[in-house]
A = this chain, B = another copy of it.
Amino acid sequence: MIATASKDVLRPTDDGARVQARDLVRKARFGMLATLGPDGHPNASLVSLATDVDGTPLALVSALAAHAGNLGRDPRASLLLAPGGKGDPLAHGRLSVKVQARPVARESEAGARIRRRFLARQPKAALYVDFPDFSFFALDILGASLNGGFGRAYELAPEDILSAPEAAAALAAVEAGAVEHMNADHADAVALYATALLGARPGAWRLSGLDPDGLDLMLGDEVLRLPFQPSLAGAEGLRPLLVALAGKARAA
């Protein structure tokens, strides 16, 4: 938990706040990272993002950037997700996430998964992801503060945002194959998820990731999130759900 606002303006955390916070985390391609400089002075910088299967934010950073050295010295950080929209950014929802940065070795099983998910979300990073001075950090969520607009403040715990660990592990084991299969053999269904279920413009939408809580869809720089209701408890429910969603989309 983060003491982000006086208790008297905080609202009780409800499903609406959880949905909004998860949506901000799952759709973020960029965010602002607050780290601690060598002199203890805070440093604010821009980072490109993806998420691990369980929703943990992932950052790819260059050793040449100040935040890389900062995170190496002190893993305490904070991530602001404030995509904004029309007009006043303060009128739109934003999430301040208290995180602890964890370096992820490229050679590990987690490293391979994270590299794959990051490139699915940030295809242009393929140009430099394997440069020796670039490395991944997982930003483990310690708590978060959601500002849903003027006067609407909520505090969230990690479990309000992240997927259930067992379900995330089960989906992680099948995700690569399922995403490849859907994009290769069921591109029509993927496009319908976007257009018929989420009202998106027509186009070659592709699946960039899937997890117990939903699907990540992309078209160029556009990102969509199709949340599952309810979430999946394991991998066995995935195929029937994807088929049912395609049926729903065709009937829509």
- Using a CB–CB distance below 8 Å, which chain A residues touch chain B? 2-6, 9, 30, 32-38, 40-46, 48, 63-66, 76-80, 82, 84, 87-90, 94, 96, 98, 124, 145, 147, 153, 221
Contact = CB atoms under 8 A, between A and B. Distances in A.
A6 to B, nearest CB: 5
B42 A35 contact: yes
Query: How many protomers of this protein does the assembly include?
Result: 2
Contact of A66 (B33, B48, B145): B145
Contact of A89 (B2, B30, B87): B30
30 contacts: A4-B43, A4-B45, A4-B65, A5-B64, A32-B32, A32-B34, A32-B82, A34-B44, A34-B78, A36-B40, A36-B42, A41-B76, A41-B78, A41-B98, A42-B76, A43-B78, A44-B80, A44-B96, A45-B96, A46-B80, A46-B82, A46-B89, A46-B90, A46-B94, A48-B88, A48-B90, A66-B145, A87-B221, A88-B124, A88-B221
Given A34-B43, A44-B79, 10 more contacts: A3-B37, A5-B66, A33-B44, A34-B35, A35-B42, A44-B80, A48-B88, A48-B89, A66-B96, A88-B124
Contacts of A43: 2, 4, 34, 78, 96, 98
Contacts of A66: 2-5, 96, 145
